[in-house]
Amino acid sequence: MAKQKNKTASKRWNWAGQREKTAFLALQDGTILRGYSAGAMVDSVGEVVFNTGMSGYQEILSDPSYSGQFVTMTYPEIGNSGINPEDMEAGRLYDSGFIIHNLNEPSNWRSRESLTESLKRHGIPAIAGVDTRALTIKLREQGTMKGFLSVTGKVDTAEGIRKAREWGGLDGQDYASKVTCKKAHRWDPDGSLTNSWGMQEGLPLDLKVVAYDFGIKWNILRRLRQSGMDVTLVPATTTAKAVLAMKPDGVFLSNGPADPMGVKYAIDAARQLLGKVPIMGICLGHQILGLATGAKTYRLKFGHHGCNHPVKDLKTGKVEITSQNHNFAVDTDTIDRAKVEVTHMNLNDNTVEGLRHRKEPMFCVQYHPEAAPGPHDPQYLFKRFRDLIVNGKD
């Protein structure tokens, strides 16, 4: 009987204590990386990116702007802190897939379920046991790739490569309408989501702000609330006319997934709102405002994903360490410098990280100032938005 048990166990574990690598990731260039399933038993297609954060995997998984992507965590040990309701950035997980090196069981007093349990509950496939450093180097050298994640055993590697190549990708695609709220509503009217997170109450809610939900994160909303802003969320496709009818003190354009050129309705709305109400934008909202002011956007080779990106404020000379997640950027050569000023630059690759309109009350940044996950360096931007609304200048 003991021999039979050992034989059965050997089907699940190899001599090094690792599970047998029956799952695989197929890349569009024909590369196959093998591992074992660490999430839901569903196959999936997605855009393979890497995230350089050492922590914050729960916030990354629940960030709607990662929709359509397979996130590769460069830090090798994932799962230690488990999953808890307080650190969610939305009501569910949004990544199309998750790629990690070593899956750990949680050992943290705040954990309510393991990473694997959460992935299964939300229907997100994951692969562990992958050489994530080799994959990261490949993506850095060759660029972001389309991929197919097989965990069910129903697809062979040749078909997996074909499925990766045939997938439409994210270029030109409107993913914001897939992750946005269904209807306009006041966010957290009783303060339960804010208070449960442990944030200080902040300023009295004396400003009315309408926030476009292109894939907004809860901690962005918490920061706006802490800055005295009573926020009404509206769906991504809401017209400028409908927003102005709400008579807001300011308008916020949120982060979101995929290609800014895929949300032409949002670009049109931003163009119509300029000059009529103070505006702040971040991430996808930054790109939308860049396009609305006449600039163009382009795809980065492997994007910016992580919470350790250095950005320089060109006005003060200070350097901020920032959290970022985007595959597209505003083309600096297409910006109308007579209308728009570049305020921030990325110190890794000199891409545009911030814009400010010279005549109208509008500014935007490419990064995430809400620190979830990430450093607190850029939180002054929420005060700047308040000052822009109250005083007419930032």
> Prior bond to 369 cis, omega within 30?
no
Residue 248: φ, ψ to 5°? -75, 155
Q: DSSP letter at 373? A: T
Our answer to whether residue 309 is catalytic in this structure is: no
Q: Of the residues 286, 326, 357, 368, which is catalytic? A: 368
Q: How far apart are CA 42 and CA 36, in angstroms?
A: 13
Question: Which residues make beta-bridge pairs with 212?
Answer: 234, 253
| Sequence-ordered strand ranges (E) for the chain | 23-27, 32-37, 44-51, 69-73, 77-78, 97-99, 102-103, 126-128, 145-150, 185-186, 207-213, 229-235, 250-253, 279-282, 297-313, 319-330, 340-346, 352-357, 362-365
Question: Which residues make beta-bridge pairs with 70?
Answer: 48, 97
State which H helix or E strand residue 219 sits in: helix 218-226
Q: Of the residues 283, 326, 344, 353, which is catalytic? A: 283
Q: How far apart are CA 68 and CA 328, in angstroms?
A: 14
Angle separating helix axes 218-226 and 380-391, nearest 10 degrees: 50
Q: DSSP letter at 368? A: B
The residue type of 289 is L
Q: How far apart are CA 87 and CA 307, in angstroms?
A: 16
Our answer to whether residue 181 is catalytic in this structure is: no
Our answer to whether residue 344 is catalytic in this structure is: no
Contact 173, 71 (CB under 8 A): no
Contact 371, 379 (CB under 8 A): yes
Positions marked active-site: 283, 368, 370
